[in-house]
Amino acid sequence: METSQDLAYSPSHFARDFEATLARQAAAGRELAERHPPIALNAGDAPAACFNLFIPKGEGPWPLMVFIHGGYWQELSNTATDFLAERYLARGMAFASLGYGLAPTTSIETMVAQCIEGLEEAYHALTDSGGVWSIRLSGHSAGAQLAYWVATSGRVPIDKLVLVSGVYDLTPLVDTYVNEPLGLNLAQARALSPLFGELAQLPPCQVVIAENDPPTFRKQGHDFVTALRAANVKAELLDLPACDHFDVLDYL
């Protein structure tokens, strides 16, 4: 039985038709991959720790956008964000959709490690194909939490961090349905929360929230921007109207 806390952290409860949105985005990604085949590579031994690298036509070097998908650490795959490559290719940017293992078989710490390795592999693959002259890292929902930890690892320099409808404080999730496959206690949830992390080392950040995100997500976005600015990190809050947690990606 869903509790009020469950509903408060259920993006689908506040969305118009999330299943139709996800299906449309996935179809657009498949269609793009047929027209503009990506380089498909694995980062490590886990099958889900893979990425698609879309490279613009012409000669490099290129700016690179690396994107980490959402799904509350337990759903979707890297191909869910392939559709986004269309708009970055049109801007002359390369695009990599990162994947990672999912709960309950993969811990969040391991997901972070897989995403770090994926970013490094995408960087090297694009370097070998023509060069990289800047890197933007982005993540949606749970992917925003993962992107934060990838950025703070310092393994690959990030020029800008774009976090979309993210979860920055995991502690409220402990008593919700979200935590069933994660199995986090409060101490673990706090340790994994960007809100309580080392913020000062981050690059300039853009934090995106949707008008029809759950109010809890909107508050987390505002709170995270406040914390970033308190840490003297250049932070922009982008509040996108007339969209929800899922179709917000259509307006980036």
| pLDDT for position 145 | 98
Residue 207's CATH number: 3.40.50.1820
On the 0-12 / 13-18 / 19+ scale of CB atoms within 10 A, 8 is: middle
| pLDDT for position 43 | 84
| pLDDT for position 45 | 83
The total of structural domains in the chain comes to 1
| pLDDT for position 89 | 98
Three-state secondary-structure class, residue 78: helix
**Which residue from 149, 124, 128, 125 is spatially nearest to 137, judged by alpha carbons?**
149
| pLDDT for position 92 | 97
Encode the chain (252 residues) as per-residue pLDDT tens digits. 568 898 999 999 999 999 999 999 999 999 999 999 999 999 888 899 999 999 999 999 999 999 999 999 999 999 999 999 999 999 999 999 999 999 999 999 999 999 999 999 999 999 999 999 999 999 999 999 999 999 999 999 999 999 999 999 999 999 999 999 999 999 999 999 999 999 999 999 999 999 999 999 999 999 999 999 999 999 999 999 999 999 999 998
| pLDDT for position 32 | 98
| pLDDT for position 248 | 98
Could you list the residue range(s) of the whole structural domain that residue 70 is in? 4-251
Side by side, which strands form the sheet with 205-212?
Answer: 39-42, 50-54, 94-98, 62-68, 132-140, 160-164, 205-212, 235-244
